[in-house]
Structures are given as structure tokens and as C-alpha cells.
Structure 1
Amino acid sequence: MSINSQNKPQTSQILGIDFGSSKIGLALADTETKIAFAYNTLENNKDFLQELAKIIRKENINKIIIGIPSRVNKKVVEYAGEKLARLIKKVFPEMEIEYQDEMFTTKIAHKNLISKGVKKIKRFDDQEAARIILQSWLDRE
């Protein structure tokens, strides 16, 4: 926690990422409440890094948690998560980046959304998966 110009405590913002080949789910949490919230879904296209950078600046993100699988044949996906981390570090060299197991997060996200009565599951599943990834990381910290 830091202090802003009016001597009010300021919490740190953490961004959770569910990185997929077509969509990127995002979730936010702060270090004070330790509760993750689904935030947004970005298309994984040529503009996603610019969009991600805007969000990082707007939300004052100082730590990023990237979901990676813990399966035996995880090398390709793990590489994608590490590649994303390197891209982020080029724009934000001081950014803290950690990884969190994402096994079954999409399946759990679908169940959560169905239980909440969400009709357009595919529209929100990636950001809900990012929320689960981030909350899992927060819970073990």
C-alpha cells in the first residue's frame, strides 16, 4: 500500500490474465480487499497489446498474474504465457509478473456463469476464467 498526495492509503492493483489464442480475459483485484472481479475481454489481435497497455495505465496496475496450464504437455501454452510476459516487460519494464495454474478455469468459469443465469457464456467466460486465476493467486498469498 502506498500513500497518495492527500496522505490517504492507496491500494495496489493487480491484473489477472487468461491468455487464449483468440480472446484474452482480464480480471482486477486490489491488495487490500483481496477479491478479484471479472473486468474485460480483449480480442487477441494486433492491437491487443496497445489495449492492454491502456488498461494497465488507467487502472494503475503494478502486478500481473498470468494463467498457465500445469499439464504434462504444457510447453506451447506456457511459452505463450512467457511470451506475453516478455511483451509486457518491454512496455512496462518494472512490472511484477507472476504465473498461476489455470487448470480447469474455463470449465469452472462456465459452471459459475450458468449458475448465475448468464445467457451469453462465451462473451464472459474468459474474464471469469481470469477472475478465477487471480482469486486463486490471491488466496494462496
Structure 2
Amino acid sequence: MSDEQEDAGTATDFPTEGRLLGIDYGTKRVGLAVTDWEQSMAVPLSTIQRSHERTETREYRTAVDDYSIKGLVLGLPVHISGNESGKSQEARRYGNWLADITGLPVTYWDERFTSAIAEEHLLAAGLTSKKRKQRIDKLAAQIMLQSFLDAKDREKEPGEY
């Protein structure tokens, strides 16, 4: 793929040190997680309520500045088969928008089952439905981001593993 054809999601030139921001994309809410400087551990950060573009832009720029973020890892919703869907294309458009507003490289990572895993953890913790809803997106972002950190080959596209 030539440089002109690459969208924000290629892993070439993606930072291997410095904090990364993990993003669990959703149409109503977006979960955020952040790594340590060494990119060995992810922790949940916050949830952004999807509203106005200006508000979201401000929230992302604040997170990027406050945590000295070097790159963005966006969860890509793919089918169980690994094939992309309409939601995958929405997420890629969102990733391109994030690259534009932050000036940071974006890569995409398979987010299959992260919300289900997060829900299982929250249920096991005995949280109420309201508390689970408040935490699920940022926990799903953490699970997706930790999966990225633990991967031996981060350069593969979702569905290629």
C-alpha cells in the first residue's frame, strides 16, 4: 500500500514508547484507556458521551495533553469471522477524524468480545446495572488496549491474527 493510500490505521511508524490512548468506539459512548510510558500496562481512563463534535474534540485534546499521548489505538468492531462491517467503516472514519484533530498516529485493533468480557468482570464484581453502565466502555477500552500491548505482532490488521 503506498503512503497516499494508507489511512490513519497503519502500524508503520506507530510509537513503541510513550503513552497510548485506547478508544472503544461507540455511537453513544466512547471508552478511553491509557498506557504507562513503557506501553506494558493499560488502565481505564474515562467515558466520553457522544454529543457535539466540538465537545468531543475538546475532551480528546485535553486527554492527549494531560497524559502526553503519543498514539491512538482504536478498537475496530469486526465480525466473528474477522471481516469488517459497516460499523468498522464508521470506526475508521472516526479514527481519521481523531488523527486530524490530535495530529497523532492512529492504529486499529480487534475489539471482538471486549464489551462482553468487561460485562462479565463487572457482573462478577457485583456491581449494579447503573454502575456497570458507567464503567463498561472504559473497561472495554482497557481490555482492547491491553490486548494490543500484549500482542507479539502489533502491525497486523484486525482479522489477520
User: Which TM-score band applies after superposition, normalised by the shorter structure?
Assistant: 0.7 to 0.9
Structure 2 counterpart SS, 1:51: helix
Amino acid at match of 2:136: D
Which structure's residues are more often strand, by fraction? 1
User: Is 1:12 matched with 2:18?
Assistant: yes
Amino acid at match of 1:114: L
State the match for 2:73 in structure 1. 65
- Alpha-carbon distance, 1:91 to partner: 2.0
Name the CA shift for 1:79/1:37 in 2 (closer, same or farther; >3 Å): same
Structure 1 counterpart SS, 2:70: strand
Q: Deviations over 1:79-116 (max 9, x none)?
A: 122111211222233x1211111111111000111222
Amino acid at match of 1:121: R
| TM-score with structure 2 setting the length | 0.75
Q: Deviations over 1:27-50 (max 9, x none)?
A: 011242611111100101112122
Distance 1:23 1:56 in 2: 18
State the match for 1:38 in structure 2. 44
Amino acid at match of 1:13: R
The one of 115, 129, 135 equivalent to 1:124 is: 135
Distance 1:116 1:123 in 2: 14
Amino acid at match of 1:98: T
Structure 2 counterpart SS, 1:56: helix
The one of 21, 24, 28 equivalent to 1:22 is: 28
Structure 1, unmatched stretches of 5+, are: 1-10
- Alpha-carbon distance, 1:70 to partner: 2.3
RMSD: 1.6
What number of residue pairs does the alignment pair up? 130
State the match for 1:100 in structure 2. 109
| TM-score with structure 1 setting the length | 0.84
Contact persistence 2:109–2:148 (CA under 8 A) = yes
Distance 1:28 1:117 in 2: 25
State the match for 1:81 in structure 2. 91
Contact persistence 2:25–2:31 (CA under 8 A) = yes
Distance 2:67 2:48 in 1: 16
State the match for 1:114 in structure 2. 123
Amino acid at match of 2:109: Q
